[in-house]
């Protein structure tokens, strides 16, 4: 009986601490036209290809947590293009104003019209975080749209959770005695 009570107490404490550590996030930005693109057509079907790309990104509405903001990002994507549809996955690394970094893994489906990208829906999850962001976990969704310059704009939302291993924001040192 004591063991069941202890397990229930620990479970309750974990649930309370997890709920308190959730951070709702909402961020938006733009990625320039990819600076590196490689495409390989699949033989026998001119509308079927694999592609990889890399693009630099900026934020119009930065991600914010613990008094810091996402400052810049870079994205790497692999695509399977079939006609007017695109199945993709990739990684997106944010660099934060306090030096921390978050590497997200994402995947989704996109659409093309007359060979030009139109829009996509994707899901993301935190793959790894470092510096002041170390220990963050989370997931969310993004809406992606083509821009006139060949890049994309994105609007994302989701939740981050701070794991027990994550460093906490340091407390201010007490005033020195005189």
For domain 22-162, the question of CATH label 2.160.10.10 is answered with no
Please give the pLDDT value at position 171: 58
| Confidence label for 98 from pLDDT (cuts 50, 70 and 90) | very high
Confidence of residue 8 (pLDDT cuts 50, 70, 90): very low
Tell me the mean pLDDT in the region 51-63. 96
Rounded to an integer, the average pLDDT of 8-17 is 35
- Split at pLDDT 50, 70, 90, the class of 19 is very low
* Res. 16 pLDDT band, cuts 50 70 90: very low
Averaged pLDDT, 115-120: 93
Region 154-160: what's the mean pLDDT? 96
Instruction: Look at residue 173 and tell me whether its pLDDT is greater than 80.
Output: no
- Residue 165's contacts (CB-CB under 8 Å, 6 or more residues apart) are 134, 135
Domain ranges of the chain: 22-162
- pLDDT bucket at 107, cuts 50 / 70 / 90: very high
Sequential DSSP letters for 52-93: EEEEEEEEEE--EETTEEEEEEEEEEEEEEETTEEEEEEEEE
């Amino acid at each position: 009986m004591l063991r069941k009570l202890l397990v229930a107490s620990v479970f309750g404490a974990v649930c309370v601490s997890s709920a308190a550590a959730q951070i709702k996030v909402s961020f938006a930005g733009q990625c320039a036209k990819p600076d590196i693109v490689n495409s390989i057509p699949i033989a026998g079907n001119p509308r079927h290809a694999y592609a990889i790309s890399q693009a630099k990104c900026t934020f119009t509405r930065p991600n914010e947590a613990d008094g810091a903001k996402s400052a810049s990002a870079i994205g790497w994507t692999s695509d399977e293009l079939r006609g007017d549809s695109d199945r993709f996955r990739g990684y997106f690394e944010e660099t934060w104003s306090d030096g921390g970094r978050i590497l997200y893994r994402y995947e989704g489906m996109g659409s093309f019209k007359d060979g030009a990208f139109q829009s996509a829906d994707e899901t993301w999850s935190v793959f790894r975080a470092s510096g002041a962001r170390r220990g963050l976990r989370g997931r969310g969704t993004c809406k992606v749209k083509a821009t006139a310059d060949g890049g994309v704009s994105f609007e994302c939302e989701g939740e981050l959770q701070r794991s027990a291993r994550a460093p906490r924001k340091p407390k201010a040192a007490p005033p020195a005695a005189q």
